[in-house]
Amino acid sequence: MNNLFGFLLLGGSNTSSSGATGTQAGGSSFTFIILLVVMFAVMYFVSIRPQKKKQKEEQQMRDNLQIGDEVTTIGGILGRVVAVKEDSIVIETGADRNKMKITRWAIQTNNTATEKAEAERAAAKEAAEKAKAEKKGGHAADTAKDEPVDESAPVRKRFGKKKDDSAEE
């Protein structure tokens, strides 16, 4: 283990005092190769894999565009899809309904799908809160007694004496 750290810190020079032997040089190059493989694996799982996943989701979003969807292009143009072709779409923008033909890769977001997803999340959150409130309210109703409270009854002080009795003593 000490040789590995020395190898990394000194750039491959041998740190042992006895001199370099063939087995130590072969072992240090083997550990260097293992270190490179581990570093590549970490870089793959940290940067490359999430990027490919995001690209796949974007491509799926572009493939699932339908007529009537509101979209935003990479240039910031908002519009509604009026025609879908193999590699391009036609959107209409603004109140005067100008039509533009753009390529699919120029679509940044599908606002209709985003709004639907947000509405589904909000509905799920409301349902969870409602279920939590019902559950909490149900426990409170079970523990409360259904006996009526007589507010006209005299209030008892400590040791069970009535308020009226304490005045007489």
* pLDDT tens readout for residues 32-82: 999 999 999 999 989 999 999 999 999 999 998 999 999 999 999 999 999
Radius of gyration for the alpha carbons in the chain, expressed in angstroms and rounded: 36
* First CA to last CA distance, the chain: 90
What is the residue type of 118? E
In order of their start, the domains of the chain are 2-61 (no CATH), 66-134 (2.30.30)
Q: What band does 24 get if pLDDT is binned at 50, 70 and 90?
A: low
* pLDDT tens readout for residues 74-118: 999 999 999 999 899 999 998 888 999 999 999 999 988 888 888
Q: What pLDDT, on a 0 to 100 scale, did the predictor assign at position 3?
A: 61
Q: What pLDDT, on a 0 to 100 scale, did the predictor assign at position 11?
A: 54
Query: Residue 92: which residues within 8 A CB-CB, separation 6 or more?
Result: 79, 80, 82, 98, 99, 100
